[in-house]
Amino acid sequence: MNQQSNFLFLTGANMAGKSTFIKAVGTSVYLAHLGMGVPAKEMRLTLFDGILSNINVVDNIVKGESYFFNEVQRIKKTILKINNNGNWLVLIDELFKGTNVEDSMKCSSTVIKGLIKMKSSLFILSTHLYEIGDELKKYPNIAFKYFETTVKDDQLEFSYQLKEGISNDRLGYLILKREKVVEMLENL
CATH code, 154: 3.40.50.300
More confident residue, 99 or 154: 99
Q: Could you tell me the pTM of the whole model?
A: 0.89
Is 30 within a domain? yes
Residue 64's pLDDT band, with cuts at 50, 70 and 90, is confident
The percentage of residues in the chain with a pLDDT greater than 90, rounded to a whole number, is 56
Q: Please count the other Cβ atoms lying within 10 Å of the Cβ belonging to residue 3.
A: 12
Query: Among residues 108, 119, 103, 151, which one has the least CA distance to residue 10?
Result: 108
- As a whole number, the mean pLDDT across the chain is 90
**Helix, strand, coil content of the chain in percent (nearest 5):** 35, 25, 40
Q: Can you tell me the distance from the alpha carbon of 113 to that of 151, in angstroms, rounded to the nearest whole number?
A: 34
pLDDT mean over 109-126? 94
pLDDT confidence of 56, banded at 50, 70, 90? confident
Does residue 39 form part of some domain? yes
pLDDT interval class at 107 (50, 70, 90): very high
Amino acid of residue 185: L
Does residue 142 belong to any structural domain of this protein? yes
Q: How far apart are the first and last CA of the chain?
A: 51
The boundaries of the domain holding residue 78 are 7-186
pLDDT at 181: 94
Looking at the structure of the chain, the number of domains it has is: 1
Question: Is 2 a member of any domain?
Answer: no
Confidence of residue 33 (pLDDT cuts 50, 70, 90): very high
Q: In this structure, is residue 1 part of a structural domain?
A: no
Assigned domain for 180 exists: yes
